[in-house]
Each structure stands twice: as C-alpha cells, then as structure tokens.
C-alpha cells in the first residue's frame, strides 16, 4: 500500500471511529500535512482518493467535509473488488455449480477481447449471505491472464486470489444493469418463484493495463440485495 493510500485509510478510520456526521469539517490541508509529516502532494492524493470513494467532499475556498455514511447492508456498485468488502458484517459463502475450462462463445470472446480458439475458465456459483441466496453468478475468465483456478479458490473470493496470489491489479470495469424476471432455472438456484423480479448485472473487469480478464453475468435475489452508489460531481 502506498503512503497516500495509508493516509486515506487512516482518515477514513478516524471518521468511522468518531462517527463524524455529514458536513463535519476536517482539519485544513496545512494541519494534515503537519500531522502526517508528508508532502502537500501526498495529502492531496489521499484527499482525492477519499473524495472518489465518497468519504469526503471538498469545497474550494471553504474546506474538507465528511460525507454522509452510506446505509448499512447495501452493495456498492462502484467497488471493483467484488462485493465481499461491502458485506463484511455478513457471512458470505458460495456453492459451486460448475467450474471448467472451455472455449468462449462469440459474446464472451467479444467482451473479453479474445479469440474463439483461446480458453476461458467458466465458473458458475450460487452465492449466499447468512445462509440465504444472494445471487447466481456466471463468470468467464481469460485463461491466458488467469491461468489457474480450482474449487478451493472459487469457493472463496476469486478477486482476492487474483490480487494476492497472482499479483494482478484490478483496474476499471464496465457495468450494465437490467431488471427482469427469473427463469425457471434461475428461480430454482435462488430459491424464489419463476417470474419473480431480478436485477441482472453484466460486468467486464479490466486489469490496470486495460486488458479485460473477467466477464460476469449475475442475477440477484431481489429480496436479499440492495445497492448504493456514491457519485461524485464534476463529471460535466
């Protein structure tokens, strides 16, 4: 972890530990520089990270302020690390339905920017939160980037394995959301009724070098899942 990331973590932890409310003013830049004994650019990078994460907001000429705490139990749609981190207070488990190496379909090859003759790891899992079904997930990993997966890895967090064991850095992702109804097969896995509403999410995850490594299709149990986004301004 880089220095500015460590400082960002420290500041975030301070806000959480003291349950600071939205609008609470944080110390000015100069105070933070003196307190952490680092350069202005390091503090600036830490603050920008916290702003992107939705922890603080900065008002030019006025100061640095705490943002509202997100509601509990919501899954972040902006996390690029899988949702294990958002739901730390819950018991997350997985049941593996399928794990095999196969050739990509045209749709998968297109989304992973690979050839039809190359291999993908295909993973199909039902994920559970506190013993109740959370979602049905089908993921396709480009095997030339993720050369090895087994049941033990797939039962746990694949993203942790990718970053910790393979040393790969997860970068940006494209996420597409649709609302629809559950097919009979999906309903069976999710223990819901056929035709019940679902949130269906397709994601393409890239490494920091821009290579797409995971194309996933997830159908969520609508009774168990709720989502949040903390959006920053300044996009236009």
Binding site for a second copy (CB under 8 A): 22-23, 49, 52-54, 57, 59, 62, 65, 67-68, 70-71, 74, 77-81, 85, 113, 169-181, 197-199, 204, 206, 208-210, 220, 222, 225-236
Q: Give all strands (DSSP E) within 9-143, no chain letters.
A: 56-59, 63-66, 75-76, 92-102, 120-129, 132-142
CA distance linking residue 144 with residue 123, whole number of Å: 16
Which one, 96 or 175, has the nearer CB to a second copy?
175
Shortest reach from residue 206's CB to a second copy, in Å: 8
Which one, 82 or 104, has the nearer CB to a second copy?
82
Q: What is the CA radius of gyration of the chain?
A: 20
Query: Judging by beta carbons within 10 Å of its beta carbon (0-12, 13-18, 19+), is residue 229 exposed, middle or buried?
Result: exposed
Which one, 99 or 199, has the nearer CB to a second copy?
199
Buried b (16+ CB within 10 A) or exposed e, 189-202: bbebeeeeebbbbb
Shortest reach from residue 109's CB to a second copy, in Å: 14
Shortest reach from residue 57's CB to a second copy, in Å: 6
Shortest reach from residue 35's CB to a second copy, in Å: 23
Which one, 54 or 104, has the nearer CB to a second copy?
54
């Amino acid at each position: 972890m880089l220095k500015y990331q460590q400082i960002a973590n420290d500041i975030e932890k301070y806000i959480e530990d003291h349950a600071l409310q939205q609008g609470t003013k944080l110390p000015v830049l100069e105070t933070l520089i003196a307190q952490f004994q680092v350069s202005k650019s390091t503090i600036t990078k830490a603050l920008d990270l916290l702003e992107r994460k939705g922890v603080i907001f900065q008002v030019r000429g006025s100061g640095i302020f705490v943002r509202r705490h997100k509601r509990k139990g919501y899954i972040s749609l902006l996390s690029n690390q899988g949702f294990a981190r958002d739901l730390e207070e819950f018991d997350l488990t997985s049941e593996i339905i399928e794990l095999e190496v196969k050739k990509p379909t045209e749709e998968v090859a297109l989304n992973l920017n690979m050839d039809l003759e190359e291999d993908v790891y295909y993973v199909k899992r039902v994920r559970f939160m506190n013993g109740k079904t959370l979602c049905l997930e089908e993921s396709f990993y480009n095997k030339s980037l993720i050369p090895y997966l087994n049941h033990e890895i797939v039962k746990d967090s694949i993203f942790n394995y990718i970053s910790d064991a393979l040393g790969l850095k997860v970068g940006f992702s494209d996420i597409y959301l649709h609302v629809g109804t559950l097919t009979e097969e999906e309903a069976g896995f999710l223990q819901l009724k056929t035709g019940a509403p679902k949130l269906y999410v397709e994601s393409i995850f890239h490494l920091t070098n821009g290579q797409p490594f995971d194309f996933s299709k997830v159908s969520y149990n609508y009774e168990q899942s709720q989502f949040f986004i903390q959006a920053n301004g300044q996009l236009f």
